[in-house]
């Protein structure tokens, strides 16, 4: 397991705390997690999606996640990720869709395809 893969495990764990999720989002961590979903190993991808899911649970951050293009990445994970990553991606999309983010999610989905 590479150092990046090892680092992705605690990132997913610490984002379960809303204050940590907020801090990671505020300091540009979402773009790093998105990149890990796109180009990381399957293990790193699953943990990165889990961290994004945890961040999505913070109501004030949901819109910024959608604006950063996370939905497009989550859809790709649903198509080609491992079963663990797919489960986390589906849960994250459900979280995003359950709030006012729905319009932005739909706009991003239409643009993605």
**Global confidence as pTM:** 0.85
The DSSP secondary-structure symbol of 69 reads T
C-alpha–C-alpha distance, residues 36 and 44, integer Å = 7
Alpha helices in 1-113 (DSSP H): 3-14, 18-26, 29-39, 42-56, 62-67, 70-80, 83-97, 102-112
C-alpha–C-alpha distance, residues 7 and 103, integer Å = 33
| pLDDT value, residue 98 | 82
| pLDDT value, residue 97 | 87
| pLDDT value, residue 63 | 83
| pLDDT value, residue 102 | 54
Asked if residue 64 lies in contact with residue 30, where contact means CB atoms within 8 angstroms, the answer is yes
C-alpha–C-alpha distance, residues 62 and 66, integer Å = 7
| pLDDT value, residue 53 | 97
C-alpha–C-alpha distance, residues 37 and 18, integer Å = 21
What is the widest separation between alpha-carbon atoms in the chain?
39
> Which CATH code for domain 3-112?
1.25.10.10
| pLDDT value, residue 20 | 97
Query: Mean pLDDT of residues grouped by 10 in the chain (113 residues)?
Result: 84 96 95 93 95 95 88 96 97 86 56 54
**What residues does each domain of the chain span?**
3-112
């Amino acid at each position: 397991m590479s150092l990046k893969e090892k680092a992705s495990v605690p990132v997913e764990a610490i984002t379960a705390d809303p204050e940590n999720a907020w801090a990671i989002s505020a300091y540009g961590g979402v773009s790093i997690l998105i990149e890990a979903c796109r180009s990381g190993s399957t293990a790193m991808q699953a943990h990165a999606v889990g961290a994004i899911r945890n961040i999505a649970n913070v109501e004030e951050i949901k819109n910024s996640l959608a604006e950063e293009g996370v939905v497009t990445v989550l859809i790709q994970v649903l198509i080609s990720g491992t079963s663990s990553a797919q489960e986390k991606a589906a849960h994250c999309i459900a979280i995003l869709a359950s709030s006012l983010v729905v319009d932005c999610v739909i706009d991003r989905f239409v643009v993605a395809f």
